[in-house]
Every structure is written in structure tokens, then in C-alpha cells.
Amino acid sequence: MNAPVIAASILAADFARLGEEAERVLAAGADWIHFDVMDQHYVPNLTVGPMVCAALRRFGIRAPIDVHLMVEPVDALALAFAEAGADLISFHPEASRHPHRTVQAIRRAGCQVGLALNPATPLSWLDHLLEELDLVLLMSVDPGFGGQSFLPMVLPKIRAVRARIETLRRPVRLEVDGGIKADTVGEAAAAGADTFVAGTAIFGAPDYAAAIAGLRAAIAAGAG
């Protein structure tokens, strides 16, 4: 299995000081910056676009930027994020008319590609796409807002995707997103996730390093 990755979701950061927040969370031990993009169409909320991603790069953020597109349509914005310095771009397949074409376009633009599935989205989307992916993102809340509670219904889905990934020859990451905290991350790790998005659990804590250390300890205990 891949080494665990903690992706800090900037959705819970102080947007007025975003560059410093990203710097602080990386210094505190986060591996990736998880960049949640919402369009008030695919989801009922609105966040930030590629200009803000490019601004983080200009500010000096060098860590992987893991862009989670919750937008419809997908293609033009995905390419704009590739230009803006994203490393990995995930999208929701039902928001794209031609998901396979979207996967190929993101890869051609030089980024890794992830497919994001909501709690009620069936795994059959993976049937003809899994082999083309670098990451599967399983939502453990309905997308649109930070600070929601982890849905245990996603645990069997994590196990099922892990089993499918194990049949591949390539390492594909399995990311879980939504309600990840010290008391839920262990079960997600035990079910087979290796990449963990956390927003409120990190940015809502007084000490980012202690929050991240707590997540890592719970991941190790769960995966153990």
C-alpha cells in the first residue's frame, strides 16, 4: 500500500491569509494542499478558481496541490487549473459529458487524474476508467460544505475500491474526503484508504501540528 498522505483542505482555512495558512499547515506536517473548487451549480456553494491556485504558487507553495473540482461542466476549468499549477485534478464523472475524454485531457495537460464519487454515486463509474486513473476520491459526506459528519456508509465502498485497486499493476491512491477527524480516520484507514482529506480537523484546531500528529497516529493504529 502507498504511504499515507494527509491533504489539508483549505476550505476550512482563513481565506484572508491563504498563503500563510498553506505555509503553516505544510510546516505542521501536511503532505498536500487539498483545493476545493465549488461553482454553486454542481454544489450549492461557491469557492475559488484557478487564479487563487496560481497565487499560492506565486506565494511560494511548492507542495502538491490536489484540486477537487465540484463543478459542471468540467473540462475548461480542469485545463485552467493545470495551467495554474495543480499537480492532481479530481472531478465528478457525472458532471462531465465524456468522462474518459476529461481524464485524457487532464493527463495531456501534465497533471495526475482522480475520479470523485459521492456517497450515493455507484462504483460502476470505475468499470471503464479505473485503469486510467491515479486516484479515486470517495466522498464521505455530500459535497458542498466543510464541517459535516463522516458517513459510515462509505466504509464498504472504501473496502470495495481497495479490492479493485489491488488487482491493478499500477499504484492508484484511494482518498477519503469529508468528516475526517481523529475518531473517524482510523476506520477509513482500516477499510483501505491511504490518502486523507481533513479541513476542520486541522484548521479548526489551535495547534495544526498536534492535529496532524493525532490524525497520523489514528491512521497508523487503523491501518496496523
Which of ligand DX5, Zn ion, none interacts with 179 (beta carbon under 5 to 8 A by kind)? ligand DX5
179 makes contact with ligand DX5 (CB under 6 A): yes
Q: What is the DSSP string of 121-155?
A: S-GGGGTTTGGG-SEEEEESS-TT-SSPPP-TTHH
147 makes contact with ligand DX5 (CB under 6 A): yes
Distance CA 53, CA 48 (A): 8
Asked if residues 165 and 174 have their Cβ atoms less than 8 Å apart, the reply is yes
Least distance from C-beta 65 to Zn ion, angstroms? 12
Which of ligand DX5, Zn ion, none interacts with 200 (beta carbon under 5 to 8 A by kind)? ligand DX5
Residue 178: Cβ-neighbour burial (10 angstroms; 0-12, 13-18, 19+): buried
Distance CA 8, CA 73 (A): 25
Side chain identity at residue 64, one-letter code: P
The answer to whether 39 is a known catalytic residue is: no
Q: Given the rule CB under 5 A, which of 39-47, 104-112, 173-181, 203-211 is the region that contacts Zn ion?
A: 173-181
Please tell me whether residue 116 adopts helix, strand or coil conformation. Answer: strand
The answer to whether 31 is a known catalytic residue is: no
Binding test (CB under 6 A) with ligand DX5, winner from 5, 180, 189, 193: 180
36 makes contact with Zn ion (CB under 5 A): yes
> What would you report as the CA-atom Rg of the chain, rounded to the nearest whole angstrom?
16
Binding test (CB under 6 A) with ligand DX5, winner from 4, 93, 192, 199: 199
93 makes contact with ligand DX5 (CB under 6 A): no
* One character per residue 159-178, x = contact with ligand DX5 (rule: CB under 6 A): ------------------xx
* Residues listed for the chain: 224
Catalytic residue annotation: 36, 177
Binding site for Zn ion (CB under 5 A): 36, 68, 177
